[in-house]
C-alpha cells in the first residue's frame, strides 16, 4: 500500500516546464532515492509535496487523501515534513525551541510549552544534539543545522520525511554519520523517506528504490544498482553517446 502517490504531476514557471507528468509511489516504510542532474526538478517536486508550491496539473495523495492545494501547515498536520537544501533553522532561537515549536505546532499539537520543551529535549538527545539545547541554532555547524532540521521534522511527528540534500557540503565523516542517521530513521523510527542526494554512495546504500529525473521527467524507476547503471541514467548525467 503506497503512502505517497504522485500522479501525473506537472509544474510550470512561466513558460518553463519544471516538471511534466511525474508519477511514482512511495510505500510505507520505504526509502526512495531521488536522483538527477541540477535543474532536473527534484527540489521543485519536494516543494510541491510539502505545499510550498502548487502543481499546475496532476494529483498528490498522502495516506489515501488528496493533499495538493493544501497549505504547508495543513500538509505538515497530515504527517509530512521536509528539510531544506539551503538549511532554514530558526537561527535566532535556541536549538531546543526549534524542535519545541515543531512539537507544539505539529499534528500532535502539544499545548504546554514546558512539556513541549521536554519532548524536544528527548528528541535532541536521540539525535545527538542534546548538549546543544540552550545554544542558538545559528551557532551550530552546517552538519549540526542539517541534523537539527531532521530533529525538527521528527518533532512534528511526521510519518513521511522529505530530505533535500542533507549530505551536501558535509565532510566524509559527517556523510557517514548522516547515512547512519537516515538508516536509523527508517529502522528505529519507522519513517518513510524520500531523499534527494548527489552523494551516489549514500543513495545506493540507503534507497530501496531509485527514481531518476531528467529535464522534469521521470526517466527510470527501480532497484538502485540496476537503475544507476542503466543507459538512461548515464545519458541523463553525461549526455548521449556515452552509454
Q: Which of 70, 76, 124, 185 binds another protein (CB under 8 A)?
A: 76
Closest CA to 103 of 89, 122, 128: 122
Interface size with another protein, residues (CB under 8 A) = 33
- Determine the Cα–Cα distance for residues 10 and 17; give it in Å rounded to an integer: 8
Rounded to 5°, angle at Cα 96 from 94 and 99:
115
By the rule CB under 8 A, 71 interacts with another protein: yes
Q: Residues with Cβ < 8 Å from 141, sequence gap 6 or more?
A: none
Residue 113, all three cell numbers:
510549552
Q: How far is the CB of 204 from another protein (least distance, A)?
A: 28
Max CA pair span of the chain: 61
CB 221 to another protein: min, Å: 26
- According to DSSP, residue 109 is labeled -
Rounded distance, CA 21 to CA 79, Å? 25
| CB of 50 or CB of 210, closer to another protein | 50
Q: Of 122-181, which residues contact another protein (CB under 8 A)?
A: 152-153, 155-156
Contacts with another protein, 80-99, as mask; x by CB under 8 A: -xx-x---xxxxxx---x--
Asked if 221 interacts with another protein (CB under 8 A), we say no
Nearer to another protein, 107 or 190 (CB): 107
Which residues are near another protein by CB under 8 A? 50-52, 71-73, 76-77, 81-82, 84, 88-93, 97, 100-102, 104-107, 111-113, 116, 152-153, 155-156
Amino acid at each position: 500500500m503506497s503512502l505517497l502517490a504522485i500522479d501525473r504531476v506537472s509544474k510550470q514557471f512561466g513558460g518553463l516546464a519544471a516538471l511534466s507528468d511525474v508519477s511514482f509511489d512511495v510505500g510505507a516504510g520505504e526509502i526512495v532515492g531521488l536522483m538527477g542532474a541540477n535543474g532536473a526538478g527534484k527540489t521543485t517536486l519536494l516543494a510541491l509535496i510539502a505545499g510550498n508550491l502548487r502543481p499546475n496539473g496532476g494529483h498528490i495523495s498522502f495516506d489515501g487523501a488528496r493533499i495538493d492545494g493544501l497549505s504547508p501547515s495543513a500538509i505538515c498536520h497530515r504527517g509530512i515534513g521536509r528539510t531544506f537544501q539551503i538549511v532554514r533553522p530558526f537561527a535566532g532561537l535556541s536549538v531546543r525551541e526549534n524542535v519545541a515549536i515543531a512539537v507544539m505546532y505539529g499534528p500532535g499539537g502539544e499545548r504546554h510549552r514546558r512539556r513541549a520543551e521536554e519532548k524536544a529535549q528527548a528528541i535532541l538527545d536521540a539525535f545527538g544534539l542534546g548538549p546543544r539545547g540552550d545554544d542558538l541554532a545559528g551557532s551550530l555547524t552546517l552538519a549540526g543545522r542539517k541534523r537539527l532540521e531532521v530533529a525538527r521534522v521528527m518533532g512534528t511527528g511526521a510519518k513521511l520525511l522529505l530530505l533535500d540534500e542533507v549530505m551536501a557540503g558535509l565532510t566524509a565523516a559527517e556523510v557517514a554519520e548522516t547515512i547512519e542517521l537516515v538508516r536509523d530513521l527508517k529502522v528505529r523510527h519507522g519513517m518513510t523517506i524520500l531523499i534527494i542526494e548527489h552523494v551516489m554512495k549514500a543513495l545506493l546504500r540507503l534507497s530501496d528504490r531509485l527514481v531518476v529525473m531528467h529535464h522534469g521527467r521521470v526517466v527510470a524507476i527501480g532497484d538502485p544498482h540496476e537503475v544507476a547503471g542503466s543507459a538512461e541514467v548515464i545519458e541523463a548525467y553525461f549526455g548521449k553517446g556515452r552509454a
